[in-house]
Structure 1
Amino acid sequence: MVLQETLTNQYPSLKDRTVFITGGGSGIGAAFVEAFVDQGSRVAFVDILEDESRALVERVNAKSSAGEAHFYPCNLINIDDLKAVVEQVGHDLGPISVLINNAASDTRHDFRDVTPEYWDERININLRPQFFAAQAVYPQMKALGGGSIINLGSMSWHESQGNMPGYTSAKSAVLGLTRGLARDMGADKIRVNTLTPGWVMTERQLSLWVTEETKQDIAKNQCLSAPLEPHSIAAMALFLASDDSGMCTAQDFIVDAGWV
């Protein structure tokens, strides 16, 4: 993926800032990593995909003359490990001023088969880390005099998508988390927003769930029929992280090509 051909805006306020991204090793997360490095940011990201993440760092840093990417292995189910990585990133790269809560798992599951243990696992992957990552970065952002937290939502629950109630329930809760934290952190000039992607054509989606039939359905339901790509989500993330969006908080910014 070559973002330079599609992302042309430069945000001077992002240069030399420390950006922390969860789930940055592939898909939309990898697009975030590349986009912020291209802005001159110091990007730290966590993921459980170690081989893919190290390859991403090597590729991005080899072609960048602006920022730099750093990978920290972490399983976000372990909140103590997440907190430790956030602290280590602040020590290694400087205080975190941008947090992107991207990590999630939209594995399909039949509601009739869901156990309490599986339900907890879905919440522990898709919602709990967003809160605790925000809690962990708060002292660093407060010390900086402000920051931007971007929580990734999903259009799946908006459109009443079935076959994954643990995921859609967690993602709908992200909006409440965003608005509550925006109020709690606003006095410290920390902005909190939700970024809601539509059906993005990542390798995971294409290999697991997108068929010729679903492609036709996507084209029919989007106002803009072209495939939605990760760089379009990254473009909104750059704006929300930058000072240009300085009065935007507690909002849900939807990038879905106009899903009807």
Structure 2
Amino acid sequence: MSGRYATYPSLAGKRVLVTGGASGIGAGIVEHFVAQGSHVGFLDVDEASAQTLLARQPEGAVAYFGNVDLRDIPAVRLAIQTLREQLGGGFDILVNNAARDDRHAIDDVTPEYWDDRMATNLRHQFFCAQAVKPDMIAAGGGSIINMSSNSFLLAQGGMPAYTSAKSAVIGLTRGLARDLGPFHIRANIVFPGWIITQRQLDLWMTPEADAKRAQGQCIPDRLHEEDVARMVLWLAADDSRLVTAREFIVDGGWY
């Protein structure tokens, strides 16, 4: 990372849990916390990408990976406990990043698909927060950062189950902020815009779509993983110690 960006002393040695950390935005978040001297555990179902990410971390980095399907809550709880043991203590920071923005038409959605999308994009955020809550209470505070999306703010179609789940992150986060605030645990939301990950390039980026994105944003530059990660770092650090129940949109001014 460039030396032009902030270093947060309060993040050094903090234990961080990142969901969906093997690739895309999640991998950028993992690498940015590692660069701050944090001790990072991340969960993902993609072992190959996770091992590639671990292999490129600098010597001395403290990072561990838990291979788990986040739809399986008992397995998630077990994976979090394993990461605690590997990192030598409970978590100070949780970044609920994992999601899948698969496209789907209204008429193709079955009750089973709907439930699977809620499990993929929303449910694990609550249960991960529930799992680390005792850690943060014992530590005297903590920070939970939940990922939403600007897609529903823009009234984007073509994925109603995804946009429903991502809009529900607002209610979840504000409720957590109220219930956990007395313990000095903060809960905030980051709304990424169209972050140009490899997945987006492979599946949906066309010249026409890119032109529409650039026209919609106030600042037309493409957004990348590090643009989201730097917002996450600030929300995790003590610099934002009294910021909670708030929403932060990183989309170049599109919404």
> Secondary structure, in 3 states, of the residue corresponding to 2:153?
coil
- TM superposition score normalised by structure 1: 0.96
Give 5+ residue unaligned stretches, structure 1: none
Alignment partners' CA distance in 2, 1:125 and 1:214: 26
Amino acid at match of 2:84: G
Taking structure 1 as reference, are residues 48 and 6 closer, same or farther at Cα in structure 2, changes over 3 Å only?
farther
Match of 1:16 among 13, 18, 33: 13
CA contact (8 A) 1:123 1:166 kept: yes
* Partner residue in 2 for 1:40: 37
Q: Which runs of structure 2 are paired with 1:229-244 in the superposition (5 Å)?
A: 229-244=224-239
Match of 2:65 among 71, 76, 80: 71
Match of 1:51 among 42, 48, 57: 48
Residues 10-53 of structure 1: CA distance to partner in whole angstroms, max 9, x if unpaired? 00000001000000000000000100000000000010110110
Match of 1:185 among 172, 180, 184: 180
Offset, 1:64: 4.5
Once superposed, which parts of structure 1, at least 4 consecutive aligned residues long, lie more than 3 Å away? none
CA contact (8 A) 1:90 1:140 kept: no
Amino acid at match of 2:82: Q
Report the count of equivalent residues: 254
Q: Which runs of structure 2 are paired with 1:199-238 in the superposition (5 Å)?
A: 199-238=194-233
CA contact (8 A) 1:24 1:45 kept: yes
Offset, 1:86: 1.6
* Partner residue in 2 for 1:258: 253
* Partner residue in 2 for 1:126: 121
> Secondary structure, in 3 states, of the residue corresponding to 2:243?
coil
CA contact (8 A) 2:45 2:67 kept: yes
- TM superposition score normalised by structure 2: 0.98
Alignment partners' CA distance in 1, 2:189 and 2:4: 21
> Secondary structure, in 3 states, of the residue corresponding to 2:113?
helix
Offset, 1:91: 2.3
Give 5+ residue unaligned stretches, structure 2: none
- Percent identity between matched residues is 50
Amino acid at match of 1:5: S
